[in-house]
Amino acid sequence: EIVMTQSPATLSVSPGERATLSCRASQSVSTKLAWYQQKPGQAPRLLIYDTSTRATGIPARFSGSGSGTEFTLSISSLQSEDFAVYYCQQYNKWPPRLTFGGGTKVEIK
Amino acid sequence: EVQLVESGGGLVQSGGSLRLSCAASEFPFSTYPMSWIRQAPGKGLEWVSIISTSGADTYYADSVKGRFTISRDNSKNTLYLQMNSLRAEDTAIYYCVGGGFRDWFDPWGQGTLVTVSS
């Protein structure tokens, strides 16, 4: 199983500042990585797939980068609606053994 | 608007069974692999199972293999998860989700809560 490790567990950021979230895979997942946002009481929402492609309707302030085992989600100029938990997920393994990171909570500083 | 609506959750005793359903609308259900993903209270996301578009291929997380069965009825645009021999650790919100066969998960349903009492 590919283990996904996210850091930090909690990130305190002021509105308008930049947030950088990390995700590390225990083995290479190429660029088969997605990011999701989850707000309290809601289902997760796809933000980014294939490491860097924004999903439909996702603002340009969200960007993803990386390859292999190291990945980053950046949120430039945090808005109030961006405070949430973010999960990374790999989909490189076959047969499917789809795994998520433990999440990073972005909170208001 | 795409909708995936889960139902069938509830309270069940350890060792019992439940069948979850997920009804899709405004969504090309028959062309999407479908998955179940769960989230224990206050915890992260765990992939549970996936089924191919035809239903011929199914895969499971080790934690549920042999106890859960995923299926689909493309004529009814509905996904199912039969859960047997339930354990306290199966307590979670279960999400019905599109995708997962070498790709990302989208869209997501709102989830249904399964509580297993010991």
> How far does Cα B52 stand from its chain's mean position?
13
Task: Give the pLDDT score at B3.
Answer: 93
In whole angstroms, what is the distance from residue A100 CA to residue A90 CA?
7
B2 to chain A, any CB pair closer than 8 A? The answer is no
The yes-or-no verdict on residue B5 having pLDDT over 90 is yes
- If you ran DSSP here, which 8-state letter would residue A15 be given? T
How distant is the Cα of A4 from the closest Cα of chain B, in angstroms? 12
Task: Give the pLDDT score at B91.
Answer: 98
Nearest-CA residue of chain A relative to B5?
A: A43
Write out residues in chain A with pLDDT < 50, as ranges. none
Give the one of A43, A49, A102 whose C-beta lies nearest to B95's C-beta.
A43
Strand partners, A71: A23, A66
Task: Give the pLDDT score at A5.
Answer: 98
Interface A–B counts its CB contacts (< 8 A) at 61
In whole angstroms, what is the distance from residue A89 CA to residue B63 CA?
18
The mean pLDDT value for B51-67 works out to 97
Q: Which of A1, A73, A93, A98 to mutate to test the interface with B (most CBs of B within 10 A)?
A: A98
Residues of A with CB under 8 A from a CB of B: 32, 34, 36, 42-46, 49-50, 55, 87, 89, 91-92, 94-103
Q: State the average pLDDT for chain B.
A: 96
Task: Give the pLDDT score at A66.
Answer: 98
Strand partners, A25: A4
B110 to chain A, any CB pair closer than 8 A? The answer is yes
Q: Residue B109 and residue A100: Cβ atoms within 8 Å?
A: no
B60 to chain A, any CB pair closer than 8 A? The answer is no
CB B98 within 8 A of CB B27: yes
CB B112 within 8 A of CB B93: yes
pLDDT tens-digit map of A50-67 = 999 999 999 999 999 999
- The amino acid sitting at A73 is L
How distant is the Cα of B48 from the closest Cα of chain A, in angstroms? 9
Give the one of A96, A97, A100 whose C-beta lies nearest to B45's C-beta.
A100
Cα B38 to Cα A68, A97, B69, B84, distances in angstroms: 26, 14, 15, 16
Nearest Cα to B25, choosing from B103, B93, B109, B113?
A: B109
How distant is the Cα of A99 from the closest Cα of chain B, in angstroms? 7
